[in-house]
Amino acid sequence: MELSEQEINRRQSLDELQKLGIDPYPADIYEVNVTAEEIHKNFPADNSLYQDISIAGRIMQRRIMGAASFTEIQDATGRIQLYFKRDEICPGEDKTMYNIVFKRHLDIGDIIGVKGYVFITQMGEITIHVKEYKLLSKSLKVLPVVKEKEDKVWDAFTDPEQRYRQRYLDLIVNPKIKDVFVQRSRLINSMRSFLNGKGYLEVETPVLQPLYGGAAARPFKTFHNTLDMTLYLRIADELYLKRLIVGGYDGVYEFAKDFRNEGMGRYHNPEFTQMELYVAYKDYKWMMDLVEEMVEKIALDMHGTTKVKVSDREINFKRPWKRLTMFEAIKEYTGIDISGMNEEEIIKVANKVGVETDPSMGKGKLIDEIFGETVEPNLIQPAFITDYPIEMSPLAKKHKSKEGLTERFEAICNGKEICNAFSELNDPIDQRERFEAQLELGKRGDEESMVLDEDFLRALEYGMPPTAGLGIGIDRLAMVMTDQPSIQDVIFFPQMRPEKKPQVSTDEDFIKLGIPKDWVPVVRKAGFKTIVELKQANPNKLFNDLNGLRKKMKLNIPALKIEEVKGWMEK
């Protein structure tokens, strides 16, 4: 690849450092005994602390004033200023370590370790007075320099494409991003400790599945060579976890990566994280209480309060949350009671509220669409929607008392579903019929309808206790809890199209033509990325251009002769 001027400078510094006997990538452990955060926290109260410290981090900022310099380094906890003084770094006659190594060959982005003591400058900044330093890693790429003063930010690194593709850069330069992922981790820890506290068992089930099931979604397909069969990446872990309830565990849960082969956008990444929980001898009402308790606790653990700021609103997770049946909710937001209607009447309602319909949609799907269009975006504060139609809930138990409905709920918050739960269907004969109804939908053209899983039915035939099940979207919950507008902001490496690589020939290809090694970068600079392009060039013009560049770039290599250039063309 072609290097920019600054990248060439850094590689030259690397060489110079090595000539001075400095290993730019030393292998030894560098012992650190304090963090930037600890110093900022404790030093103001007790100035006798931190008088013999060792700390390491990345250089983020340099202000050089002749024989003294201020540098900021950033460790995992934050930034701290360093003070370098020439005669302190170099007590003897030899000032190389300051004048040459520090001033000339260190750059923003390099990682160094320093030893010294903490003091406060005349400007009142807590600073480390450096007695000695060591280069720990030389940085060859130029970091974007973001400057900040009193909440004003200059030259922020904001391009979403680069931020997502090079998340490491985003994390280095935008410290608030690092925080989001710390928060995400705390969310998961909070949930896990809540579930462990209840005595449930964390388990793992297959990602590669011969049949996919447990949700309405299109799968990713892959192939196992030895078994000579198609496998699917799981779209949900439901059917496996229920097999474990059949096996006799009281409560099992899994933090699972699931994969759905569908569109992408602010709320959808092809792979996403879900926590699914199944508890024996419970029902969906019991599960609602658990969800409220768990999410309230997460908010408290993360923010110390149940109130969470999300964009320009405040969402309060304090129990109890509002509870509405699906029909009540649709009636509340549209004024239409669809509870007694047949499919034809519902199609009319759907069209009236702006939902497009097509023949593949069953009654359940239609109701779901009407709900999604009219109700869901309006539910900002956490709310439970209960009692979903049977057609859209093929794994949920029929309602105890309401005909045509199931014992199912979703929690909605900030206009989006965050979880889905039901009293699990444990009647194997009913379950078989529901799967068959799904196959029927599939024949009507519904590509997300479920397939029939015989082994799962066999498990149910041995008998599954009444069970409550829950799936909760970790990414979406993290979006709400960390106030991020897009799912890509709570996933380290969101899915993206591959970066296109420009077509280039290797250095070896050029050298094979007889081009001296030192001339290869010049040839590239002249605009020839491939040997094919080069061979089409006019040798006289090429000869002139290359020697011209040699002069312009002040290269200390012998000038080319026209015979040489012609020689490359003939090979």
The footprint of RNA on residues 281-320 (CB under 7 A) is none
Candidate residues 473, 490, 491, 545; the one interacting with RNA per rule CB under 7 A: 473
Q: Which CB atom, from 249 or from 267, has the smaller least distance to RNA?
A: 267
**Length of the chain measured in residues:** 571
Shortest approach of RNA to residue 341 CB, angstroms? Answer: 20
67 touches RNA by CB under 7 A: yes
Residue with tokens 């013009």: 541
Q: Which CB atom, from 196 or from 536, has the smaller least distance to RNA?
A: 536
Which stretch in 161-169, 198-206, 398-406, 453-461 sits in contact with RNA by CB under 7 A? Answer: 161-169
Which stretch in 32-40, 212-220, 247-255, 323-331 sits in contact with RNA by CB under 7 A? Answer: 212-220
Residues numbered 545 to 564 that lie near RNA (CB under 7 A) are 552
Alpha-carbon distance 106 to 138, whole Å? 8
Candidate residues 14, 37, 85, 535; the one interacting with RNA per rule CB under 7 A: 85
Q: How many binding residues for RNA (CB under 7 A)?
A: 76
Alpha-carbon distance 249 to 141, whole Å? 53
**Count of Cβ atoms closer than 10 Å to residue 37 Cβ:** 14
157: which residues sit within 8 A by CB, 6+ positions away? 144, 146, 163, 169, 170, 173, 174
Q: Which CB atom, from 152 or from 400, has the smaller least distance to RNA?
A: 152
Q: Which CB atom, from 247 or from 485, has the smaller least distance to RNA?
A: 485
Residues numbered 395 to 424 that lie near RNA (CB under 7 A) are 410, 417, 420
442: which residues sit within 8 A by CB, 6+ positions away? 449, 451
Residues numbered 254 to 273 that lie near RNA (CB under 7 A) are 260, 262-268
Candidate residues 90, 142, 347, 437; the one interacting with RNA per rule CB under 7 A: 142
Contact 235, 215 (CB under 8 A): yes
The neighbouring-strand residues paired with 309 are 314
DSSP label at 304? S
Contact 363, 369 (CB under 8 A): no
Residues numbered 435 to 454 that lie near RNA (CB under 7 A) are 448
DSSP label at 514? T
Q: Which CB atom, from 77 or from 357, has the smaller least distance to RNA?
A: 357
Residues numbered 334 to 393 that lie near RNA (CB under 7 A) are 356, 368, 372, 376
Helix (H), strand (E) at residue 38: helix 36-42
Residues numbered 492 to 531 that lie near RNA (CB under 7 A) are 496-497, 499-500, 502, 527, 529
- Angle at CA of residue 547, ends 544 and 550, nearest 5°: 150
Residues numbered 101 to 130 that lie near RNA (CB under 7 A) are 104, 107-108, 119, 121-125, 127
DSSP label at 396? B
Please name the amino acid found at residue 42: N
Alpha-carbon distance 529 to 554, whole Å? 22
Q: Which CB atom, from 306 or from 530, has the smaller least distance to RNA?
A: 530
Residues numbered 6 to 35 that lie near RNA (CB under 7 A) are 6, 9
